[in-house]
Amino acid sequence: MASFSELSASSVESVLLHGDLHQGNILSAEREPWLAIDPKGVVGEPICETGPLLLNKLPPRLDSAQTRRLLARRVDQLAEELGVDRDRLRAWGVIRAVMSAFWSLEDHGRGWERTLVCAKLLESRTPSVA
């Protein structure tokens, strides 16, 4: 699995990103159909924003076959729709999971273990469902 340094160095395109784009920060709005709130304003490869789409709203039992299938399906769907490499998308997912674990530890002192399990599942090269 690629490291943050390797992914960043091999990035073809760096753009301004939201930095905290997840379901809780996307609202139905009047001026536009959808509005992303609470941006962090970071620069990076667009694919790194997909982490929360992989990791959020997973079943309670992460050690289940259902969770592994769901993660594989999300990787496949996002990679296909965005036209990106599945391994690269998974690698960014692992990095975002580890970052999320640190944020949970920093903010709450708990909840980080679950996110690290997600990182391990993504890193384990869950087979494609395609």
Q: What's the pLDDT tens digit per position in 59-110? A: 888 888 899 999 999 999 999 999 999 999 999 999 999 999 998 999 988 8
pLDDT at 105: 92
pLDDT at residue 126 in the model: 55
Contact between 7 and 92 (Cβ < 8 Å): yes
What pLDDT was estimated at residue 109?
Answer: 87
Statement: the pTM of the whole predicted model exceeds 0.75: yes
Residue with tokens 């997840």: 22
Tokens at 98, concatenated? 């580890």
84 touches 109 (CB < 8 A): no
Provide the annotated active-site residues.
Answer: 20
* Maximum alpha-carbon separation in the chain: 42
Mean pLDDT, residues 31-42 taken together: 92
User: What HEC string does 51-79 produce?
Assistant: HHHHHCCCCCCCCCHHHHHHHHHHHHHHH
